[in-house]
Structure 1
Amino acid sequence: MPEIGFDEASEVLAAQPFSVLVGARLVTYERDRAVLEIPLRQELLQQFGFVHGGVLSYAADNAITFAAGTALGPSIVTTGFTIDYLRPAQGTLLRAEARVVESTKRRALCRCEIVSIGDDGTEKVCAAAQGGARSVDLSR
């Protein structure tokens, strides 16, 4: 399995147009763990001023996939995930931390916790997700 480091993983994130659109950045990429952050701005909110559920789902999906990539290598795709929205997210920053729970040679199961960080630095868990990824042969 080819492993990539933090710089290469950051380049992968930067090559994703949607990740650039939401302003996502990779802050941690280490064995069995990845953390993504998204600075919150008006365009990422829904009509009540809370972070849109699609942004929370994106954060979970990508954090899970990056965490899985630490165990499986870079040629992977998400196989699916579930997310539970625990409370409305608001503040200045969204942080999604995913960890590998179990992995085989081709698949990984991960869990993700998403917190919103307020203006005063207070962190609140706003969502939790679980999902998986599998390695793919990109030469086909």
Structure 2
Amino acid sequence: MKAWMVAAVISAVCYGINNILLKLTNGRISDALGAVCIQTFSLAVIVGYFLLIKMRGEAVNWSYQGIAISMSSGIMMGFGLVLLLTAFKFGGPVSGVIPVLLSGQIVLAALAGFLLFREGLSAIKAIGILCCFLGIWLSSR
């Protein structure tokens, strides 16, 4: 298995466990405080990773554009987290909310790959995107 695939699978497991834990917070902590706790501990992990890279002597490349894009991504992550917690607060089932969330991410990533990054869009990928739309519709029932 390729290294990127191993990292992607482990990431999927981490995000899957994260989504289950988010649902478990429902009714046990306010959305705002829960989001602060989540992002604080997420920051701690990321700072630890950053320090590890620095201690290894690896280069930390950056540009103003890279910083701006990263900050924009953080803003989207924050809004996404707050809205995900809100969906659970409004009674959304984990079996409905998470498939909609992930299918939406798949569709956006696939379209961005094709439109922004000039990655190929094969017929099978197009069918996959359509299946995601169908999945979103079915999960919302």
TM-score by length of 2: 0.27
Rg (Cα) greater in structure: 2
TM-score by length of 1: 0.27
Name whichever structure is richer in strand by fraction.
1
